[in-house]
Chain A
Amino acid sequence: MRIRLTFAKQGALRYIGHLDLHKMWERVTRRAGIRLAYSQGFHPQPKIQIAAALPLGFSSRCEIIDMWLSEEIDLSGFAEAIQAAVPPGLHIQQVDIVDDRAPALQTLVDSAAFEITLLTPADDELPRRLSSVMESETLPRERRGKSYDLRPLIESLSFISPDKITMKLAARPSATGRPEEVLDQLGIPFEETRIERTQLILK
C-alpha cells in the first residue's frame, strides 16, 4: 500500500538534512506502529520516497513523501498516529492513498514556491530590482564552475512588503532554480533571510 504524506517542517527541523529525514521517517513509523515495506537484499531498506530535497536551513509548509506499507490498513486515525510520533516542528497536513504503479514521486515535481523573510527590511529600491530581474532576457550565472541561465528558471517573483518577497522557481530534475541564487542576483545576503518553501507543484 502506497501512502502520500504532506507535512510542514519547521523550527529545529530546519537544520535537519535530507538523509537524516529519511531515517527519521523510519523511526516515526516504528513509533506509530506502522509497518513499512522493505526492499529485498542483504541490507533491506524501507521504501520511502521524498519529493524534493529541502536545503538545510529552509523551513517548509509543503514537504511530500511517499511510503510503502507492508500491509493494507484503514487510514482512519492514521494521521493522528503519525502526528503523535513526530518530533516538534513537524505537522502532518494531508494523507492520500496513491496508486502503487504511479511514477516515482521525484519525477512528478514541476516547480516550487518560496516565501523569503528579510531579517533586515530592504531599502526602497527592492521592487525596482525585482522588476529588473523579471524584465531581463537572460541572467547568466555560474554554479559549480558551469555556466547556466537563471532567468528561465524563475517563473514568478513578487514584492510583498519591505521584509517579504515570494518566488516560484522551476524544480524539475533537469532544471532547478535555487532561491539563494535569486537572492544573490537581487543583492540580498542569504544569511540575512529566512526561507520557507510554501508549495510544491506536481505535474
Chain B
Amino acid sequence: MLTPEQIQQKLDRILLKVIKPGRYVGGEYNITVKNWDTTPNRVAFVFPDIYDIGVSNVGLKILYDQVNQREDALAERAYAPWTDMELFMREGGIPLYSLETFHPLAAFDIIGISLPYETLYTNALNVLDLAGIPVRASERTMEHPLILVGGHSTMNPEPMHAFIDAFVIGEGEEAIHDVINTVARFRQSGTTGTRENMLLALSKIPGIYVPSLYTVTYQEDGTVETVAPVRADVPKVVTKRMVAKLPPPPTKFIVPNTETVHNRATVEIMRGCTRGCRFCHAGMITRPVRERSVAEVVAAAEEAIRSTGFEELALLSLSSSDYTNILELVTTIGEKFGDKHLNISLPSLRIESVSIELMERLKDRRSFGFTLAPEAATERMRRIINKFITDEDLLNTTREIYARGWTTIKLYFMIGHPSETIEDVEAIATLAKKVLAEGRKVAGMKVKLNLGVSTFVPKSQTPFQWVPCDTTGQIKEKQDVLRRMLKDKNIKLSWTHAEDTFLEAFLSRGDRKIAGVIYTAWKNGAKFDAWNDQYRYPIWLAAFEEHGLDPDFYTHRQRRLDETFPWDHISAAVRKNYLFQDFRMSLEGEIRPDCRQKCYACGILPTFSNQRRENPGEGWKCPDVKSPAKQLSVISVP
C-alpha cells in the first residue's frame, strides 16, 4: 500500500493536468486532521460524486463530526474523481485517498458511503475499485475495510446487496457509533475476528442490515416469494434507526477553497414531515416530525456563519411553513442577519400569502426568485397525490409575490402521477400561463416564470409503491405537450430526461437480480449516471439483456396488491397496511389531512413508543404516549 507521502508525490506530477485540481488536495478551513498513528478507529466517508457536489452534503457532515468527537476515532473524506482525474490516477497507480491525510482508502477500518439517490450506484462501485478494494462483498476479507452505506436509497437496499457489507437503515447519528464499536472489537481480537462473525454481530445492531445474512426466493412470475434470514438470531425485519431527540446541529462546516454547488451554512430546523404527500419518499421515511427550538436554531446559525464566513444560510426542512414557531424564527433570523450581505434561504414554503411575509421578514434580496411547489395542476390530480391547494390559492399567492417585487417565480410540478391524463398535463401549461398573465397585470412585462417539471418515480415505502412508472414514450409525449404549449420566452421550462427517469425507476424498484445488471453496466463504462451527459442508456439496456432481465418488469408493471416487495424486510416504521390504505384513498381521490391535527396511526408510535415516552411534549409532532412502558428485554448491542 502506498504511503501518504508517495501518494502526494505522485499527485504533484498530475494535478496541473486536470480540471480544477483544487478538488483533490483538501486543506479546507474547518477540516479535522487527527493523528493517524495514535487513533485506533479510522473511518473514511465517501460521497460518490465529484467534490463540488459532495463536499456540502449535510448528512456526511453530521457523521464526520460524530466520529471526530470521539477520542478513539477519526473520520476523513473522499469523493469520486472526475473522469480526467480518474484516468491519471489509474495510469499513475494512485489509489483513491482521503483528503485529510492522503491515506489510501483501503487503509481505513470502515468506509461509509452516502447513497441518497440511486443514480450514484455505479459510482459507488467505481469508488471501491479505485480504492483497490474488491467490488463484490463476497470477495472481501478481514484485510479490507467494512463497506457501510447509508442514505435514503437504503430503504430498498436490494439492488446493491452484492457490493455492500452493511446498510444503515434510517438515521445514522447513533448507529455509526455502534458500528465503530463492533468493528473495533473484531479488529482487535485476534482469532475470533473473522469477517463472518463481525457481520453477524453487526446484524444485531438495531437498524443495521447485513444482506449476506438473508436469502431470497422468487415466484414463477419473477416476483419475490420470501426473504428470510439464514440464522434464527438475525432479525427478520430491519427497522430503521431514529434519533428521539435531534443532536446539536453541526456548525463547523467545511469551507471549500473552490467554487462548489452549494456554498452555504445550513441548519436543519426540523426532521420529518406530517403532510403525507403520497409521492414523497422523504416524507414517508423520515417520520416522526422532530423540531429544534428557535433558540437552538438561531444559536447554531450564528455559530455556523461565524465559523464558516459563508455568504448563504439555508434553514432546512421538508416543509418550512409547518415549523411551529416559523414566524418567530424568521423574524429573529432576519433581524440578526438581514444586513450582513447574506442570502438566507427557506425552502419548501406553503402556497399561501403568509409565505411571502416570511420571506420579507428574512429580508430576502429578491434576486433568487421565489419558489413554490404545487406539483399538480388539476383538482383530481391534487387529490390523488394528497397535496391539495386550489388554483385560486396559487394565483393569489403568485400575484402577491410579483406585486411585492420578486420578478421571478419558480414553480415545481411533476408529471407521471398515477392515472395522469394528457388533460392533467395540459393543465400545468395553462396554469403556468395564467400565473404569468396575472403577474403581468400587477408588475408589468418584466415578470418571469421558471417551470421545473420533473417526472414521478414511484418509490419503495410510499403509498404509490404499487403503481407503475410512466414509460419513456408516455413521458416524452407529455413533455412534448408542455413544450408545444409553452412558447412564451418569459417562461423557462426545464424537465427530466425520460431515460434518466427510467434508470432511476429500475434502480429504486429493483430486487437482488438488479445487482448483476449494475455490475455489468459499470464494467462496461456506466458511471456518473446522475449527470445527463454521462449517462449511457444503451449500456444499461445491454446489461439487462445480458442478464436475461426485462427492465419493464421493474419500472412499468402495476404490482399485485398482495405482492411481496423486494424491500418488505426493511421497515421505515410506517406499516405496509397504512400505505395500502392510503393508496386506496388515492384511488378514491380522498384527502388525508396533515397528521399534526389528528394521528392516523401510521405505525411510528408503536415502533418508537419508548422514545416518545422518554421525550414527551412539543419536540415531536406525534401525540404523547401515555401507556406505561412494556417490560421489554433490553436490546444488547453486541
Contact = CB atoms under 8 A, between A and B. Distances in A.
B307 interface: yes
A116 B379 CA distance: 71
Interface of A: 11-17, 19-20, 23-24, 26-31, 33, 38, 42-44, 46, 56-57, 85-89, 119, 190-191, 194
A44 B311 CA distance: 12
22 contacts: A12-B25, A12-B257, A15-B25, A16-B22, A16-B257, A17-B258, A19-B259, A24-B257, A27-B308, A29-B309, A30-B310, A30-B340, A31-B307, A33-B306, A56-B16, A57-B15, A57-B16, A57-B21, A87-B257, A89-B27, A119-B12, A190-B16
Nearest to B342: A30
A38 B340 CA distance: 11
B259 A31 contact: no
Contacts of B367: 42-43
B309 A27 contact: yes
B26 A16 contact: no
A190 B12 CA distance: 12
Interface in B3-33: 12-13, 15-17, 21-22, 24-29
Contact of A31 (B15, B24, B306): B306
Contacts of B180: none
B258 A16 contact: yes
A191 B311 contact: no
A17 B258 CA distance: 8
B429 interface: no
A153 to B, nearest CB: 22
A31 B27 CA distance: 17
Given A12-B25, A86-B29, A87-B27, A20 B309 contact: no
B305 interface: yes
Given A43-B367, A87-B28, A31 B257 contact: no
Interface of B: 12-13, 15-17, 21-22, 24-29, 255, 257-259, 263, 305-311, 340-341, 367
Contacts of B263: 23
A37 B257 CA distance: 22
In the A-B complex, list the 8 residue pairs whose CB atoms are closest, starting with the nearest: A12-B27, A27-B309, A30-B309, A31-B309, A12-B25, A15-B21, A87-B29, A57-B16
Contacts, number: 75
A88 B28 CA distance: 7
Given A17-B22, A87-B255, 9 more contacts: A12-B26, A20-B257, A20-B258, A23-B263, A26-B311, A28-B309, A30-B310, A57-B16, A87-B28
Contacts of A57: 15-16, 21
Nearest to A16: B257
A191 B24 CA distance: 17
B257 A56 contact: no
Contacts of A16: 22, 257-258
Contacts of B13: 119, 191
Nearest to B14: A191
A20 B21 contact: no
Contact of B259 (A15, A20, A44, A46): A20
Contacts of B255: 27, 87
A33 B307 CA distance: 10
B27 A27 contact: no
A170 B258 CA distance: 29
Given A15-B15, A26-B309, A89-B27, A38 B257 contact: no
Contacts of A28: 309
A44 B341 contact: yes
B344 to A, nearest CB: 14
A166 to B, nearest CB: 21
Contacts of A31: 29, 306-309
Contact of B21 (A30, A56, A191): A56
Contacts of B258: 16-17, 20
